Structure formats: structure tokens, C-alpha cells
A and B are shown apart, each in its own frame.
Chain A
Amino acid sequence: KAGVTQTPRYLIKTRGQQVTLSCSPISGHRSVSWYQQTPGQGLQFLFEYFSETQRNKGNFPGRFSGRQFSNSRSEMNVSTLELGDSALYLCASSLAVGSDGEQFFGPGTRLTVL
């Protein structure tokens, strides 16, 4: 059974540009969550999508957005990139409808903003 996949694995962008990251969950999983990991702030929750609807949102500016498609694949977009957006972006999927499910993470996308 394939795990969570994320593309691309690495990205280099310049300030002011925008970027789109993609996540394919484990087959059958309808919940996809996104996290930002930085050395200073650790792992922070960005948002969660379930059945194409944003179910939860973390405390990030509106430049960070996402969506989920009918096949459960998800994308997140960051507009007007800032140096501080450099981070490892991790995607997680879960089979659970509620809050008691196990989360499975992908390998991440390393974004560098110059």
C-alpha cells in the first residue's frame, strides 16, 4: 500500500513569487492536513481538509491557502513568498472521520525562499 506522497520534494523560489505544493494521501483516506516545520517554531498546523472542505485552520496569514479535490489529493498555495516561509512543509493523511485516527505523514517538500 503506497504511503503519502508529496511533490515536489524540493523548491527554490524568490521573494514575491507564489508556490503550489501537492499531496496525495494514502488510498481511502479522506482527511489531509498540512504542517509547516521550521527550526524556530517547530511543527505548526496550517489547515485540514476533509471531503473537499476545509475543516480546520491554523494561525497563518491568508497568503497560505489550500484545496482538496474529489480524489482526496490536496494542494496548498503560498502567495507573495517571504523569506520566513522557508520551511519543510509536511502533509498528513488519516482514515478517521473524527479526531481519534492515526496520522501518516509524507516525506515533505523543502521550500527555500531567496
Chain B
Amino acid sequence: KQEVTQIPAALSVPEGENLVLNCSFTDSAIYNLQWFRQDPGKGLTSLLLIQSSQREQTSGRLNASLDKSSGRSTLYIAASQPGDSATYLCAVSPGVGNKLVFGAGTILRVKS
């Protein structure tokens, strides 16, 4: 059974700091890994999608890496801003249709 763990559970940083969020999964047989952002009481916004054959993806100040063999992914946020404050969720596609298995998320607070 695929399990996804995210560390840390919560993170508070001053504005401008670079930071790394971690995601690990127990079964390396995944089709892709997706990072999402969720603002309080809202739906999920897709940030980055990494296919199983890829090592990383970049979008603006965000960079996500994937190491399938070790079951790890990291989301790097450069020059953090207060608007980045949200819960960040990592999810893997285990290859059962379009089902996603989610981690519990990292709550990020960027202080101005």
C-alpha cells in the first residue's frame, strides 16, 4: 500500500528566505508526482507535475525534484513571499487510473 509522508508538518520562515519541503513515498512504482497548494477552505491548485521519467520541473520560483529509486521528492521555493503562505500537498499516482495518494501536507507561513 502506497503511503506518502511530508516533512515538516509546519514551517514558519521570514520573507525572502529560500526553503525546501520534503515528500517521501513507500512504493517507487509511480507514474507521476504532483505538488499542490491549498489555501484555507479552498480547493487545490496544481503547482508542478513530474512524470516518473523526469528528475525535476521548474515554474517561476518553484523547483521540484524527483528521485524515484529512493522514494523522495523536494519542493524548493526561492525568495519566499507572504503570499506563499498556504498548505503544500504532495501526491503520487500509483498507476490505478487517475487515483492520487496524498501526503498530509506542510503548512507554510511566510512572515513579513
A residues near B (Cβ < 8 Å) are 4, 6, 31, 33, 35, 42-45, 48, 50, 55-56, 58, 88, 90, 92, 94, 96, 98-108, 110
B residues near A (Cβ < 8 Å) are 31-32, 34, 36, 41-46, 49, 51-52, 89, 91, 93-105
Contact status A94-B44, CB under 8 Å = no
Contact status B44-A90, CB under 8 Å = yes
State in angstroms the CA–CA spacing of A35 and B89 once bound together. Answer: 14
State in angstroms the CA–CA spacing of A107 and B95 once bound together. Answer: 25
Contact status B101-A45, CB under 8 Å = yes
Within the complex, the shortest CB–CB distance from A4 to chain B, in Å, comes to 8
Contact status B46-A42, CB under 8 Å = no
Interface of A is mostly: strand
Which chain B residue lies CB-closest to A95?
A: B98
Contact status A42-B102, CB under 8 Å = yes
Total A-B contacts with CB atoms under 8 angstroms apart: 79
Contact status B43-A42, CB under 8 Å = no
Contact status B104-A42, CB under 8 Å = yes
Please tell me which one of the listed residues B42, B45, B105 contacts residue A42 in the complex, with CB atoms under 8 A apart: B105
9 residue pairs, one from A and one from B, having the closest CB atoms: A105-B44, A43-B102, A99-B31, A107-B43, A55-B97, A56-B97, A99-B95, A105-B43, A102-B49
Contact status A103-B100, CB under 8 Å = yes
Chain A residues lying within 8 Å of B100, measured Cβ to Cβ, are: 33, 35, 43, 45, 92, 103
Please tell me which one of the listed residues B41, B42, B46, B89 contacts residue A102 in the complex, with CB atoms under 8 A apart: B46
State in angstroms the CA–CA spacing of A103 and B31 once bound together. Answer: 13
12 A-B pairs in the complex with CB atoms less than 8 angstroms apart = A31-B98, A42-B105, A44-B102, A50-B98, A56-B97, A58-B99, A94-B98, A99-B95, A100-B31, A105-B43, A105-B44, A105-B45
